[in-house]
Amino acid sequence: MTIRDLIEKGIFETVNAGDEPEKEITSVFCCDLLSIAMSRGVEGAAWVTVMGNINTLAVMTLTDMSCIVLAEGTRMDETGLQKAQSEGFTVLRTEKSIFDASLEIYRLIHGE
């Protein structure tokens, strides 16, 4: 499933679509501690988290994760939003819990 596919499903609100719509989402990663995400983040994963700041974006790009999904009704702060827009990162958000959001992405990846 590509980023474009996920956005077009319309299950999450698009905060910033980003400039790599054809990038493949290969798995789901959940973590809110950035240092752990840094060491365990999975390349190509959609990262479901409640941490919506500029550092989340840095960790996403350094670990080659494909996009960020802010769950539990959290939002990207203003600085992070500007960074996502200027660098073309994909950020989505949802009121759903981390578990539910992750499960939905998992099911889409695995065609369930």
Partner 1 sequence: MSDSLEFKYDVDGEDFTRVGHASTDIKKKLKMIGIAPDIVRRVSIAIYEGEINMVIHAYGGEITVEISEDDIKMVLKDKGPGIPDIEKAMTAGYSTASENVRNLGFGAGMGLPNMKKYTDSIDIETEIGVGTTVTMHVHLT
Establish if 95 lies at the interface with partner 1 (CB under 8 A): no
Binding span for partner 1 by CB under 8 A among 7-15, 28-36, 68-76, 94-102: 28-36
Q: Rounded to the nearest whole angstrom, what is the least distance from the CB of residue 99 to partner 1 in the complex? A: 19
Helix (H, G, I), strand (E, B) or coil at 45: strand
Q: Among candidates 97, 86, 89, 102, which has minimal Cα distance to 46?
A: 102
Q: Is 107 exposed, middle or buried (0-12, 13-18, 19+ CB in 10 A)?
A: exposed
- Choosing from 1, 42, 58, 103, the residue that interacts with partner 1 (CB under 8 A) is 58
Q: What is the CA radius of gyration of the chain?
A: 12
Establish if 55 lies at the interface with partner 1 (CB under 8 A): yes
> Under the rule (CB under 8 A), what is the footprint of partner 1?
32-39, 43, 51, 53-59, 61-64, 79
